Structures are given as structure tokens and as C-alpha cells.
Structure 1
Amino acid sequence: MTPSSAKSGQSRKAKHCSELLGTGPSIDELVPALSLLGERLARILPGYLSPFAGGEPPLVRIGMPMDCNLASIAADIETLASHTLMAVGPKGLPMLAIFEAPSVLRLVDRTFGGRGDVPDEIPDSFPLSAELLLARIEQALAEALTMTFGGEEDHKVRPMRRDTSLRYLNPFDRREDLLQLSLEVEEPGVEPWSFSLAFPQQTLAAVSTAPRHPVRRDARQGAPDPAAEPYGSMPVPVTAVLVDMTIGFSRLSSLKPGDVLPVAIARSVPLQVDGRTIATGTIGEVEDRVAVQIQQAF
């Protein structure tokens, strides 16, 4: 063996030796990690999708992680689709979100008061209404993924750019091994819609080491911030108690249309949630509508 051939052999050995290169876990080793992340995302995501579901958190189901690459993703899509490149953390580790046209158009139809019908003929490009809706969904998904990955700045997810062509988007090498996770969103009385996420090995390895829950920076920190998700978007019925009066049963039983009950509205009107007073205020008017000006909150 000549010196050059020996050197070449050593190079080939180093090239294929993951221990020397430190390439991290393989795709097969990352499948359980993605399954765990998917289960966590299925619990967190409904709160972020509730604005697109009439205010009620939908049910999110996850599929089994599938190995793929960009070429196989493109081959599996039979119609128009929107692909969003997302970046994770300060290093901008890439991941991909795929939204096929039927799901997007179904959501657009519901946004404008329809039943979620899909046109018989899928258009060649997304209308502006669909583009605007996609931007909102991308942001909600990015925030949900950030919480899924641990909620820390090192795992913050940001939508970067979007395109209907994977070739023009060029998120990563077409031959790079990926893991893809499909998610289906179900709501009562309407057809479900779906999308999928694709992760390169390096990205998935980084986010799968994130803590299960956000680490508190201050040990004295109390209850979760009610303005933060998933609590911030939850609808809470609030009751303004204008009149609280006592009336005899005999008088109550004799009430008939046209009767007048003299009442006095208190100067301090309580605002209640589930029977508990959370604030008080005074009655006023804003643009010809009755309003309550908060004077004290508890």
C-alpha cells in the first residue's frame, strides 16, 4: 500500500465514523424523541388554534413520525401547497411546515362564514385572504412550538419565509434525511384540516434536549402570567352585576308584563367571573353603548 492510498483509506474511515465526527443521534434514534414532542405539541397547540376555531380549542391528533426528504415530500403533494421555513433558536436551525391547499381553503371559507367547503377546482395560487390567514397560523404555530421545545429563548421558533415551491424555498438539501410529523385538527361539525412538520436531524436533536417545562428564572416567581399563552387566548365569561335586589316570593309570582320594578344601580358595579368578583367600576357610555369603567381590580 502506497502512502497516498493509506492516507485515502484513513480519510474514508474518518468520513464514515460518526464517533469521530460527532454527528449526533441517527434518524432512527430520533423517532421516539419526535413522538414525545408531538404528544406535547398536541396538548399545547389547541390553545393557540382556538382563534381559528370559533374560540374553542380544537382537538389535535398526531401521526407516526415518518422518515423522508424534500424530494419525497414534493412527490407526495398532489396539489397546491404552502411551505414555510421556520428557524429555531439563535442559530436559526431550520424546520419546515407544510400546509396543503384543501386545508387552507377550508379554513378561509369558514373565516368568511362558510361551512368549510373546498372549491371543486383548486386554484394555481393562494388568494390574498389565504396568505393572510397562513401568516396568522404560522405565528400561532411558532409560539406553540416554542412552548413545546421548552419556552426558552434558545428554542424560540420564528417563521422566516414562505413559498409554494420547495425548489425556490430551498430550506435544506433535497437529499438530507428528515423526520416528518403529520397533525390533524378536528372540530365538532366540520371537516378536519391538517398540516405537517419536517425536521432535519440537527434541528430535532437540538430541540429534543429542551426541558419538558420552561425553567423559571426567578425562584420567587408566583402563578403563571395570565396574559401568556395558552391562557391569554382562553375566552372567559365576565358578568357585570348592575342590579342585585331582594324581592318577596309573592311579588315575584305575581309579576306580569308592564309591571315596573324600581331599582337603584350601585355606584360601584362588580365584575364577576364564575361568581367571584375580580374588579369593580362605574357605569358609563362609550359610542352610544353602556360601558363599565374599571376603578379597582383585585
Structure 2
Amino acid sequence: MKPERPPVAARAVAQHCPELLRAEPGPEELLPLLTRAGERLTRPLLAGLAPLAGGKALTVKAKPAKLTTLEDIAMFAPDLAANSLIGVGAESLPLLASLDAAAVLRMVDRTFGGRGEAPSPLPAEFPVSAELMIVRLETMLVRELAAVLVPGQPEALRPLRRNGNLVLLEPFARDATVAQLELDVTEPGGDTWQISLALPLPTLSALFSTSPRRSAPVRHAMADPLAEPFADVPMQLSAVLVDMAMAMATVARLEPGMVVPVAVARQVPLRLGAVTVATGTVGAADDRVALQIRSAF
């Protein structure tokens, strides 16, 4: 059967929004974003490193981000460095952070009252004192990275593991293409060392891609007061031995030599600010007045 006229579409052809059809941004578009993130990172890193690495005369400068591979990074990597693998997001996408070993050892020397000198030659592995310093630096770096890369989501970045030898750490495949960001740190004495960040392309895309995507739910866990960084926070406690009322006239007549009778409470409160955290009884320990905790809240 032959139609009398050409067929006509029942409705207009759909015109799709260009934004919905846009492909994921490539590395060439994401590298400048990583470079700008590095520039924003210099100021908080300067504040975090200054007390450990030479004071106010310290400088931190970011280099332009570039594409490379883990194999190329490992080829020029020293035998010893503070290498930390950081997990990004709910999927723990890898991010590698490396700090110069000699710089870490100089920080340890300053912490123990030295002039900031590193042994030469460097040891085959970090001593315990340097491991503690690396944990401190790692905590600071993760905090500042989270503030710059994922503002408002401090729990989105977390340390996974660390090793002084990059090959033994095995952060990701050696032939994987990664974006590398290097920050030059110059100490007052002229020593210059680097903080290196390496992000595989999936991590780079997850952090900087502007394409709409569904974010994975973040599980919030209770903060552990015995874990970093809370465990080292100094808190001023006060034990209230005497709490008594005295007339204004008596206070006005106080002078050296007067004896004021007081009574120490059976349950002495131990206070953090205005909050009572425990009570105890007064005694002695090693020729010093001590408080034996009887109850804690």
C-alpha cells in the first residue's frame, strides 16, 4: 500500500541538554585545579610546619601539577622518606603523601633541644622518635588537605598506612598514571625539601570533577578521646580543696600572720572549667599532696 503523503513525526525530536551529555573532564582540565589547590594549601602548611621546621622565616611554595607514573616517582625516590597512604572518600581512593626524611629528622632534633641537624648518612629506617613525629605531621597534613580538597568534610580523608620505603608501601600500581603536586619547603638556614602528593586519575577525578554524581553516605563515628589528635590536647583541671563563705568584714581585715580555719571536704571535686568530672579524697603520694579518685562522671 502506498501512502498518499510522506510520514510526519508525531512529536518534535528531543533536544538534550548539553550539560547532561558533557563527558567527564580529562586530566588536562583537572591538573590546573590541583595546582590551585596546592597554592591554597601553602598557607595552612606554613602555619603547621613553622613551629617544627624553623619558625616564621619558613616558606612553602607550590609547583604546577604534572602527570607521571608511580614507577617514575619511585625511580627518583630516596631509600628513606615519610611515605603515607591516605584514603579519600567512602571508597578509600588512594592519595600518596611523601615528606623528606632529613627534614623529619631535623624536626626531631629541634624538638629535643638541638639545632635542627640530621645525621649523615641517614639511617636505614626511622627511629621511634621520628615515627612519632611522622604521625604528628601526617595528622596535620590530612587535616589541612581535607580543609582544602573537601571543605566541611574532615572525615573524608584518613590515613591508611605508612612506610619509610615507597616500594614496600605499594600505594597503587606502578604503571598507573598519577597527578603529582610538589611543594617546596625552605627552612631559615637555606635547606629546601619537598612535600610530594600523588593522586591516581580516579582520585583526581573524584576530588575535582564537576560532573554531578551521587555522594556516598558518610558514617560518623564517636570521637575517641584516647586517639590523635584529641589525646594530646592539654586540659586545665582544678581540685577544689576548700569552698567556704567569709564575711566581707573578715576579708577586709585579712593580713599576714592571721590563721583562717578551713575544713577540707570529704569529697574534693576535680573540675574542668565549671564542670565536675570526678571526686576524690586528699592524701599523699611521693611526698606530694595527691587526690585519690573515688568516682568519675
Q: Residue 160 of structure 2 aligns to a residue in which SS?
A: strand
Structure 2 residue 251 is matched with structure 1 residue 248: yes
- 2: distance between equivalents of 1:225 and 1:83? 26
After superposition, where does 1:113-262 map in structure 2 within 5 Å? 113-115=112-114, 117-119=116-118, 121-129=120-128, 132-133=131-132, 136-137=135-136, 140=139, 144=143, 148=147, 149=150, 150-151=153-154, 155-165=156-166, 169=170, 171-173=172-174, 176-182=177-183, 195-208=195-208, 227=225, 233-245=232-244, 246=246, 248-252=251-255, 254-255=256-257, 261-262=260-261
- 2: distance between equivalents of 1:294 and 1:192? 54
Aligned equivalent of 1:88: 88
CA contact (8 A) 1:79 1:101 kept: no
CA contact (8 A) 1:44 1:147 kept: no
Give me the identity figure in percent: 24
CA contact (8 A) 2:104 2:134 kept: no
- Could you tell me which amino acid in structure 2 is paired with residue 238 of structure 1? L
CA contact (8 A) 1:85 1:96 kept: yes
Q: Which runs of 5+ in 1 are unaligned?
A: 1-18, 219-223
Moved more, 19-28 or 94-103: 19-28
- Could you tell me which amino acid in structure 2 is paired with residue 144 of structure 1? R
- Could you tell me which amino acid in structure 1 is paired with residue 180 of structure 2? L
CA contact (8 A) 2:61 2:183 kept: yes
Aligned equivalent of 1:11: none
- Could you tell me which amino acid in structure 2 is paired with residue 248 of structure 1? V
- Could you tell me which amino acid in structure 1 is paired with residue 179 of structure 2? L
Instruction: Report the Cα offset of residue 100 of structure 1.
Output: 0.7
Aligned equivalent of 1:109: 109
Q: So what's the TM-score if we normalise by structure 1?
A: 0.58
Cα deviation per residue 1:171-202 (whole Å; 9 max; x = unaligned)? 4446724131538699xxxx999733222332
- Could you tell me which amino acid in structure 2 is paired with residue 159 of structure 1? L
Aligned equivalent of 1:283: 281
Q: Residue 121 of structure 1 aligns to a residue in which SS?
A: coil
Q: Residue 96 of structure 1 aligns to a residue in which SS?
A: strand
CA contact (8 A) 1:108 1:133 kept: no
Structure 2 residue 64 is matched with structure 1 residue 66: yes
Q: Residue 126 of structure 1 aligns to a residue in which SS?
A: coil
CA contact (8 A) 1:85 1:159 kept: yes
CA contact (8 A) 2:281 2:294 kept: no
- 2: distance between equivalents of 1:236 and 1:32? 40
- 1: distance between equivalents of 2:43 and 2:167? 26
Cα deviation per residue 1:49-73 (whole Å; 9 max; x = unaligned)? 9xx97xxxx9x98643532335775
Count of equivalent residues: 252
Aligned equivalent of 2:13: none
Alpha-carbon spacing, 1:171–1:131, altered in 2? closer, same or farther (3 Å): farther
Q: So what's the TM-score if we normalise by structure 2?
A: 0.58
CA contact (8 A) 1:143 1:157 kept: yes
CA contact (8 A) 2:96 2:199 kept: yes
Q: Residue 235 of structure 1 aligns to a residue in which SS?
A: coil
- 2: distance between equivalents of 1:151 and 1:251? 54
- 2: distance between equivalents of 1:233 and 1:97? 23
- Could you tell me which amino acid in structure 2 is paired with residue 119 of structure 1? A
Alpha-carbon spacing, 1:232–1:84, altered in 2? closer, same or farther (3 Å): closer
